[in-house]
Amino acid sequence: MKFDTTFWMKLSQIDRRWIFLVIAITVALPMVLGIDFTAVPAPMVEKVFQTIQRLPAGSKVLISYDYGPSTVPENQPMADALVFHLLSKDCKVYMMAVWATGERQSQYTIDHIVKPSFPNKEYGVDYIDLGFKAGGTGLINMLFTSVKRMYTTDRTGNDIQSFPMMSDIETLKNFDMILSISSGAPGLKEWIQFAGDRGNIPVAGGVTAVQATELFPYYPRQMFGLMAGLQGAAEYESLVIHMYPKFFQHRSALRKMAPQTVAHLAIIAFVIIGNIAYFMTRKK
């Protein structure tokens, strides 16, 4: 018994760097071995997919890149899968950002998804990148008055009036759907509050896992669907791959599900061991 207590005592005082090392190994090993996991779509993710699936060709969809490089592993797969899906459905895609760092991320989607997978889609006709404007919720408010007064040029500085797909866009109400990929404020929550609820425009999107619990109360009445964290992104990728197998080469979140799962199991084990150690040492 004495040995047991000493053991648990030592375990409860273990140097936290051993825990970091174990997590590093559990994350690295499945990556090196190239283990692939599948993801079963949750109803909230399925709802996003099915709603886009029902959109008629030519529908105008605004997608806002409200994140930066720091959350790319979670957010970029969501944005890439959504844009791939929208262009496969022949929707008109309008990209913008309420975060300055979002501009580079929309450029990534254009370079890595749009150009290689849809060589026949034309910039300014089928998709456009409006870029970033400062203002956050003030910007969203202004877009209800006039999109073109805020966006006088596209991201690269070309006159906004010169693009055919902008001819019938006056305010936010001209969009059939708004999607926000976000990692904080302003983000999806602000798009719901300041655009969806105000203009009765369908809003959905994807958020980092940290933000997810904050967004759940808006589903399903104020937000028709949600991708929560890497898991949500992987679920959407699996849906897109099922419908459009060509997207398989672009999967990014699905590749990370194996190390994610193994790391979670390690953390659960740590929590259980930590609790046992706590109760065993408290007994003494």
Contact residues: another protein, CB under 8 A: 17, 20, 23, 27-28, 31, 70-74, 100-101, 103, 131-135, 137-138, 141, 150, 152-153, 155, 157-159, 162, 192-194, 197-198, 208-210, 212-213, 217-218, 221-222, 228-231, 256, 259-260, 263-264, 267
* Nearest residue (CB) to another protein, 9 versus 271: 271
* Nearest residue (CB) to another protein, 52 versus 130: 130
* Nearest residue (CB) to another protein, 81 versus 192: 192
Q: At its nearest, how many Å lie between another protein and the CB of residue 105?
A: 13
Q: At its nearest, how many Å lie between another protein and the CB of residue 88?
A: 26
Q: At its nearest, how many Å lie between another protein and the CB of residue 204?
A: 15
Dist CA 155 CA 134 (whole Å):
13
Helix axes 253-283, 2-12, angle to 10 degrees: 130
* Nearest residue (CB) to another protein, 59 versus 184: 184
* Nearest residue (CB) to another protein, 79 versus 86: 79
Q: At its nearest, how many Å lie between another protein and the CB of residue 80?
A: 14
CB under 8 Å to 95, separation ≥6 — which residues? Answer: 63, 64, 65, 83, 106, 109, 110, 127, 128, 129, 130
Q: At its nearest, how many Å lie between another protein and the CB of residue 12?
A: 20
Q: At its nearest, how many Å lie between another protein and the CB of residue 35?
A: 13
Q: At its nearest, how many Å lie between another protein and the CB of residue 51?
A: 18
Dist CA 96 CA 272 (whole Å):
45
At CB < 8 A and 24+ separation, what contacts does 207-212 make? 207/181, 207/182, 207/183, 208/67, 208/71, 208/74, 208/75, 208/182, 208/183, 208/184, 209/74, 210/183, 211/182, 211/183, 211/184, 211/187
* Nearest residue (CB) to another protein, 58 versus 69: 69
Which amino acid, 143? L
Q: Residue 250, CB half-sphere, CA atoms under 13 Å: how many?
A: 30
* Nearest residue (CB) to another protein, 90 versus 124: 124
* Nearest residue (CB) to another protein, 117 versus 208: 208
Which amino acid, 200? N
User: What does 43-71 look like in DSSP terms, one character per residue?
Assistant: HHHHHHHHHHHTSPTT-EEEEEEE--GGG
Q: At its nearest, how many Å lie between another protein and the CB of residue 83?
A: 20
Dist CA 233 CA 210 (whole Å):
14
- For residue 150, how far is the Cα from the chain centroid? 25
Compute how many other C-beta atoms are within 10 angstroms of the C-beta atom of residue 40: 9
